[in-house]
Amino acid sequence: MRKMRTIRTRLTNGASQVRRAALMVVAGIAWAVMTTACGSSGSSAPPAARDGAAAPATASSGAPGGSATGGSIKIAFLGDSVTSGLGLLDDQAYPAVIGNQFAADGYSEVEIVNAGVSGDTTAGGLRRLGDALEPGVRILVVALGGNDALRGLSAAQTKDNLAAIIHGAQAESVQVVLVGMLAPPNLGPDYRDAFAHVFSDLARDNAKTVAFVPFLLEGVAGNPLLNQPDGIHPTAEGAKIVAGHLYPTLRNLVDAMQ
């Protein structure tokens, strides 16, 4: 069995003010997920199938993210504190877990770049896109949006930022995986619906080139056994579930690139 060469992470732990802010948003999201699971008739969940998305055709067979060397396939994760692994060891964050799964399955050419930053919004992610698309990145996982409502971004702004991230990555011939989020219920049903449709609409509009996973925290949000004491960030076991939810889509994309 082959071993993966490198798993690299970039972790930025947020200050206490950011942690309190994030708590308000994700706690609301967890409530929304629990309500939906209990049979709510609302339409806050994205109107797409929740069993993961089949990988679309890769955006390009060129040299993504600059020039890949040595046949490596770098997967960059552009996200917030859930992606950075706040409260976890570096190798317990879900991107690292995904990297370990690739290694266990014999994908020695796969490298993981954790570009998660605590408290980040889609606007922040757009500003950091150039740094995330370092040489050799061929797949970009976009897992942002949970902090947008708290920071005063409208659903339209979130959509514009995510669209710009998608188009910016595609301009560099990088395959995009868009991962959805849910909005807190305290912002009202109109915002919840608009926010949910941001992700499903972008997935529909880019269906031929963008892979879509409807909800990052599927099976984890709202479950106290899978979240840290703050009720927000997944435990190591929760991160494994998140990783397992994303891994099949990423593995299909990697297979298509070989």
Domain extent listing, the chain: 7-40+50-257
Mention the CATH class of domain 7-40+50-257: alpha beta
pLDDT of the residue at 204: 98
Query: What are the beta bridge partners of residue 78?
Result: 115, 142
| Weakest-pLDDT range from 14-23, 72-81, 217-226, 233-242 | 14-23
Q: pLDDT tens across 153-187, in order? A: 899 999 999 999 999 999 999 999 999 999 877 88
Q: State the angle between helix axes of 236-257 and 94-104 in degrees (0 to 180), rounded to the nearest 10.
A: 50
Q: pLDDT tens across 194-248, in order? A: 999 999 999 999 999 999 999 999 999 999 999 999 988 999 999 999 999 999 9
Active site residues: 81, 230, 233
Q: Are 211 and 220 in contact (CB under 8 A)?
A: no
Q: Are 44 and 37 in contact (CB under 8 A)?
A: no
Look at residue 115 and tell me whether its pLDDT is greater than 50: yes
C-alpha–C-alpha distance, residues 108 and 106, integer Å: 6
Look at residue 21 and tell me whether its pLDDT is greater than 50: no
What's the per-residue H, E or C state across 183-242? CCHHHCHHHHHHHHHHHHHHHHHCCCCEEEECCCCCCCCCCHHHECCCCCCECHHHHHHH
Look at residue 77 and tell me whether its pLDDT is greater than 90: yes
